[in-house]
Amino acid sequence: MSEPGRLAGRLVALGITGSIAAFKAVDLLRLLRAEGADVVVLMTPSATRFVAPLTLAALSRRPVDADVLDLLPDGRIGHVITADAADVVIVAPATAHWLGAMAHGLAADVVTATCLATSAPVVVAPAMDGDMYAHPATQANVRILRDSFGYRIVEPEAGSLASGQVGIGRLAALERIVDAAIDAIGARPIRKPDPADRPPRLIDADDPARDADDLAGRHLVVTAGGTAEPIDPVRFIGNRSTGAMGFAVCEAARDRGARVTLIAGTVSAPIPSGVKLLRAETAADMQAALASLVLAPTGAAGFDALVMTAAVADFRPAVTNPTKIPRTGAGLTLELRANPDLLAGLGRRVDGLDETGAPGGAPIVPRPVLVGFAAETGGLERAAAKLRAKRVDLLVANDVGEPGSGFGTSTNRVTLFAADGGSEALPLLPKRVVADRILDRVAALLDARDAAAQTGATSAAGGTAS
Ligand code: CTP
């Protein structure tokens, strides 16, 4: 297990104001989470125009507070709860406007209101154009915050700015901001350790196990994106998969402590950081990549779980023309061959079966947990049969025809089918939350697998002794 972070158990209120540097707050949030912090995000209205609250809600697992007049669902005043519970308030990036509002106590947004209402230390990281930062008005406001209010100012750095100028105004390195927050908290006790005294979590995200490193020490393999089956050197048969769902699984697994290997096909979403990347263009490449990972050099299982989100092409051109096929007046007929079902092949391999399903080779030990996806159009009737045919432990089925679900969306509505016959229909959720729900199941299946192996080993040992 990894070491507890320097902010373990702490509630950090992260206030974001409307600077172009607001996008960096996403990485700042990740760093805070990596240090073990529980984070609640507060945004000024203009900040929401630079970075989507949905992203920050999914990563912090809490609703974002962006409206000073909004009440919590139970009638409590959000910024007051946050102000009373936070161990530190970080405002990053802080704009010139926000510094001015704060210096004069103008609580028209949740970030200012929370700072006014809190007795927690406040860390402020300004970011703006160099001339704006150098202006006597801004400097006077910074002095008020630092000298009169005791706020810690993490001074901006020199460099090229969004305005095109070079000067002092770039948001400080994120590690400096995290260090300043840790320093500001010092040895103070945790203010409100009881989750009931903190701002609410996202629906479905209030399981305490969710915050644990419950996948630490596990190796997860995730396939993502589509495959490109070449017709000739320039053309291919592909599909609409962007890789976003698989990437959400990678990020969630990484954040829960797993070592992650990503096998990426054709993808258009940005590759997640902190994972080992293998590229696979065709179904055959993906099959080879999986085969290279399935066994460790010791002969034991090479991974603990496989999450197969990739949209693997079911057909490939029978021949790939070595040169570009010229356009002629006549049409073109392509002969397609079936690709193997990679997941079904792996399911058989894991259980020691050959291509025909007959015993053929040793089962893989410990048995990796296999998760398949099923993209359906017009109903999920075939899902249970797919689960059995592919020998997977969990099948995540979604109707790609439904609005908000499937390719190119940030949300997904899925139903989880388990090998024991149970199924759970989830509501429309951000893909990251869906990823966490899938990983809840994977973590539980792995724990059950290990517990069963322990019991087996104990009873075997007992048998010998008696
Ligand atoms: N899959 C695979 N190899 C293939 C096709 C699919 O490993 N050649 C995997 C996918 O990654 C996914 C699961 O199988 O995890 C289900 O994919 P889906 O396309 O829904 O199912 P198919 O088996 O291809 O069935 P159909 O196309 O008839 O819906």
CATH code of the domain covering residue 160: 3.40.50.1950
Whole-angstrom distance, CA of residue 70 vs CA of residue 64: 11
> pLDDT tier at 206 (50, 70, 90 boundaries)?
very low
User: Does some domain include residue 413?
Assistant: yes
Residue 164 CB neighbours (<10 A): 7
> pLDDT tier at 463 (50, 70, 90 boundaries)?
very low
The pTM of the full predicted model, rounded to 2 decimals, is: 0.60
Which tens digits make up the pLDDT trace of 38-74? 999 999 999 999 999 988 998 888 889 999 888 876 7
- Distance (angstroms) between ligand 1 centre and the Cα of 181 equals 47
Whole-angstrom distance, CA of residue 91 vs CA of residue 133: 16
Q: Is the CB of 86 under 6 A from ligand 1?
A: no
181 lies in the same domain as 107: yes
Q: Is the CB of 339 under 6 A from ligand 1?
A: yes
Amino acid at 29: L
Does residue 457 register a pLDDT over 80? no
What is the structure's pLDDT at 124? 98
Per DSSP bridges, beta strands 394-399 and 414-418 are: antiparallel
Pocket test of ligand 1: the residue of 239, 308, 349 to mutate, having most ligand atoms within 8 Å of its CB, is 308
Query: Which residues lie closer than 8 Å to 374 by C-beta, 6 or more apart?
Result: 380, 382, 383, 386, 395, 396, 397, 398
DSSP string for 25-56: HHHHHHHHHHTT-EEEEEE-TTGGGTS-HHHH
Shortest CA distance to 85 belongs to which of 77, 93, 97? 77
User: Does some domain include residue 6?
Assistant: no
Residue whose pair of structure tokens reads 């021949």 in the numeric block:
319
Q: Residue 241 belongs to what domain range?
A: 219-323+332-455
- Distance (angstroms) between ligand 1 centre and the Cα of 218 equals 25
188 lies in the same domain as 226: no
422 CB-side CA count, 13 A: 4
Protein residue with its CA nearest to atom 18 in ligand 1: 374
Protein residue with its CA nearest to atom 4 in ligand 1: 341
Enzyme catalytic residues:
239
For residue 397, the ligand 1 atom closest to its alpha carbon is 20
- Distance (angstroms) between ligand 1 centre and the Cα of 374 equals 6
What is the structure's pLDDT at 409? 77
Q: Is the CB of 373 under 6 A from ligand 1?
A: yes
User: Does some domain include residue 3?
Assistant: no
Protein residue with its CA nearest to atom 27 in ligand 1: 314
Query: Considering its fold, how many domains does the chain have in total?
Result: 2
Whole-angstrom distance, CA of residue 176 vs CA of residue 412: 36
371 lies in the same domain as 444: yes
Which tens digits make up the pLDDT trace of 232-260? 999 999 999 999 999 999 999 998 888 99
DSSP string for 179-210: HHHHHHHTTPPPS--SGGGSPPPPTT---GGG
Which tens digits make up the pLDDT trace of 91-149? 999 999 999 999 999 999 999 999 999 999 999 999 999 999 999 999 999 999 999 99
Protein residue with its CA nearest to atom 9 in ligand 1: 343
- Distance (angstroms) between ligand 1 centre and the Cα of 341 equals 7
